[in-house]
A and B are shown apart, each in its own frame.
Chain A
Amino acid sequence: MTAVFAPAEVRRRPAFSLGRWLEREGVFSWLMVALPVAFLVLMVGYPFFYGIWLSLQDRPVAKPGVFIGLANFVNDWHDPVFRQVVVNTFVYTIAATLLKMVGGLGLALVMNQDFRFKNLTRALLLLPFIVPTVLSTIAWQWILDPAFSVINWALKVADIADPGPSWLGNPHLAMFSLIMVNTWRGLPFYAITLLAGLQTISPELYEAATIDGAGRWTRFRYVTLPLLKPVIFIVTMFSVIFTFSDFQLIYVLTRGGPANATHVFATYAFDVAMGAGQFGQGASIALSMVPPLALIILAMAIYMRSEKS
């Protein structure tokens, strides 16, 4: 990095100089990105192509594989569980992301006000995000147990139902419960990231808008939202990516049950690749996540570029 640093007097010289060359956009940019890009290619490039290669083979674990082209993908297409997995993953991702987006933005706006114990509140709200997922999910195992859940307990005391709803045993409720746990975990990060975005908006803009007679909603709609857009966009896209490939939470709570009602790409791929030792088939399931994710990432790339001009 210090090599790039050019003293000011060097740049004032009219003839070609290293300093000036380094100041060119193309050169400076590539010097900056080269090292991290090389790192990523080294650490991820090989595994990625390895994964693609696996998906094109009939490849039992710890045994040599046989190239079979796209047969694994054809197989997935005819697998009824795979189809269910696709639907589940989309339901899970869309619902959880919407909840996190709306809730996170709301919470960020609320926290952007002045109030007593502000710092303490912020720290507390971050807790769900901080605690290791494997451990917090274990707590949810009790909270969602009808015999111990507060809701069931209340229903029982009020004499309405006993044992009441089965949070993980009923297929629809199980999906609902997982979405709630995912939202619980992800919401604080949304809120805190958007809060950081809100803090970068200059107060003068609000003052100017207020002087112009803008109300609360107008200020939000025409000042806050446009300025926050890049941050909202990125956080949302990443939330989609992480939710789409979520594994730990589901694996601990239901492992895809009851009867595949909560199986998603990552859990199903893991069961097939590890449990059944079918690396090729497992890779093809996992790689089926790529097209939708690639679309999202492409959208991000295009969006960020067009913002520039």
Chain B
Amino acid sequence: MTVEHRGWRTRLLTLWLPLGVSLVFALFPFYWMAITSLKSNQELYNRKVMPLIVHHPTLKHYVDLLTETSFLEWTWNTFLVAVVSTAISLVFGAMLAYPLARMRFAGATMVSFAIAATYLVPQPLLFVPLADLINRLGLGDTLTSVMLTYPTLLIPFCAWLLMGYFRTVPIELEDAARIDGASRLQTLTKIVLPLCGPGFISAGIFAFTLAQNEFLYALIFLTKTEVRTVPVGAIAELVKGDVFYWGQLMAAALLGSIPVAIIYSFFVEHYVAGLTAGSVKG
């Protein structure tokens, strides 16, 4: 990135040290989850042994999770729901963001306020009337019910974030395209969108994550085991009264998130590459 040469001391101070500290902070709980998922209950509850090492690893919790619960089904449901609601949110978000970022039109301030005002609706109360709405539409116990409701949580954020990214595109580029005879829509799809790839990826990551994380709507709208998502399914079947099935819960947490992390890393890589290409073209 920078052209100058740096000594190893600078490199240590500006890169490895902060990176190391962040990694430890970010990953320690995962390490904890991993060892918890590999420990037998006897070892987990044993205060006398050093807690950071697995002395007698066992895959029992993973086997139980995969054989005794519908974990794979939940994972598939979660993935499906997250992909669809993310797609809806990005499309709608972009449709809102572009005019708001670049155009002058009557009611623009009102619209931009109204979008984020969605978050003013207190979620702990929202679910009662929403459940009514879902029932009237005949969508109870279908994945469609959450695919439709999650975007209400996701669109405002996507829209605002994309507005920010749309603004980082130099207006001169758009003007030039318009002078060359491109329509507004062409300007958007051919010039602005490609340049905002990173923005879409970060908004998409956010939306996807929030969708697969969501608990309350999934709890209310999805009542049958076969349509549940991972968080709701795991809590419903692995928390029994005041006893938690720690090992299985942690196995579910890891199995559910590591594939997503790998997918994300591809995206992150892609948007760095895409950006370099875009700037050369521009």
Contact = CB atoms under 8 A, between A and B. Distances in A.
Direct touch of chains A and B (CB < 8 A): yes
Interface of A: 1, 4-6, 8, 11, 19, 23, 25-26, 28-30, 32-33, 35-37, 39-40, 43-44, 46-48, 50-51, 54, 103, 106-107, 110-115, 119-136, 138-140, 142-143, 147-148, 150, 153, 184, 187-189, 192-193, 196-197, 199-203, 206-207, 210, 227, 230-231, 233-235, 237-238, 241, 245, 247-248, 265-266, 269-270, 273-274, 279, 282-283, 286-287, 289-290, 293-294, 297-298, 300-302, 304-305, 307-308
A134 B126 CA distance: 20
B161 A37 contact: no
Nearest to A288: B122
B27 A231 contact: no
Contact of B105 (A25, A44, A126): A25
B81 interface: no
Contacts of A241: 116, 119
Interface in B122-149: 122-126, 128-130, 133, 148-149
A33 B183 contact: no
B42 interface: no
B49 to A, nearest CB: 11
Given A32-B95, A248-B215, A287-B122, A135 B252 contact: yes
Nearest to B167: A230
B30 A286 contact: no
Given A37-B114, A40-B118, A305 B185 contact: no
A19 B181 CA distance: 13
20 contacts: A23-B184, A36-B95, A44-B126, A126-B268, A131-B254, A132-B231, A134-B234, A139-B250, A142-B32, A143-B29, A193-B202, A196-B199, A196-B202, A234-B160, A247-B123, A247-B124, A283-B125, A286-B122, A297-B117, A300-B112
A131 B246 CA distance: 15
Interface residues of B, number: 115
A64 to B, nearest CB: 15
B223 interface: no
B205 interface: yes
B120 interface: yes
